[in-house]
Amino acid sequence: MSAIETIDLNIYYGSNHVIKNFNLEIPENVVFAIMGPSGCGKSTLLRSFNRLLELNENARVEGDIRLYGESIYKMNPIEVRKRIGMVFQMPNPFPHMSIYDNVALGVKMNKLVESREELDERVEWALKKAALWDEVKDRLDENPSALSGGQQQRLVIARALAMKPKVLLMDEPTANLDPLATEKIEDLIYELKREYTIVIVTHSPAQAARVSDYVAFLYLGRLIEVGKTEDMFERPEEELTENYLTGRIG
């Protein structure tokens, strides 16, 4: 069974048809990259997977999206977002909370644990999963603004993981990071795929080649080609895909 499947998905912003007749299956426990030039609909598609688009009153979705075979539109949106976490392009820790409270907030709000001891364990677990624990274990009461950009992004990943999702969406998570921080995030993605399905949006074919097992190429809202990363980069079937990978379009 696919982790995520889209069926005849169409997305509109007002009269603008952004995602067009989209049918896609994303296997579980892989890194699945969605790549394409700016403005092709990548981020819009990603936000549809956990119903974030519904927060935009100008957006309209037709078709279906399924999480492990179940339509997300038959679920409570809050439950969908618990099961499908999201990490954005800009690190966005909550600025008026401590490092600890950033990770703990969603767990407390959703009453996922029953005691402070369990909460402490969940926070430590999530920070370890995000490869951040050793760097912040003595600073949990500090404001996250004291962290570097790469550390802030890993904190946001820990915040998402603390909810114990099935799928983790990442919208260009290294776009604003330096090369060293980018490498740490990419290493983390590789580790996390053992337990999670990760869907990453990137405008960088090089990053897609480095981190993903499967890749989909979008162009002007349409799915041009999808397949295993190695096959796509070595033997693209569509001329548009080859033109994008060789820098002729982008």
Answer yes or no: pTM beyond 0.85: yes
pLDDT score at 1: 79
**CATH code assigned to 4-204:** 3.40.50.300
Where does the pLDDT of residue 250 fall: very low under 50, low under 70, confident under 90, or very high at 90 and above?
confident
Where does the pLDDT of residue 53 fall: very low under 50, low under 70, confident under 90, or very high at 90 and above?
very high
Q: What is the pLDDT of residues 230-243, one digit of tens each?
A: 999 999 999 999 99
Q: What is the pLDDT of residues 172-197, one digit of tens each?
A: 999 989 999 999 999 999 999 999 99
Closest CA to 19 of 239, 225, 223, 224: 223
Where does the pLDDT of residue 104 fall: very low under 50, low under 70, confident under 90, or very high at 90 and above?
very high
Q: What is the pLDDT of residues 111-153, one digit of tens each?
A: 999 999 999 999 999 999 999 999 999 999 999 999 999 999 9
Instruction: Name the percent of the chain lying above pLDDT 90.
Output: 94
**How much is the average pLDDT of 30-46?**
95
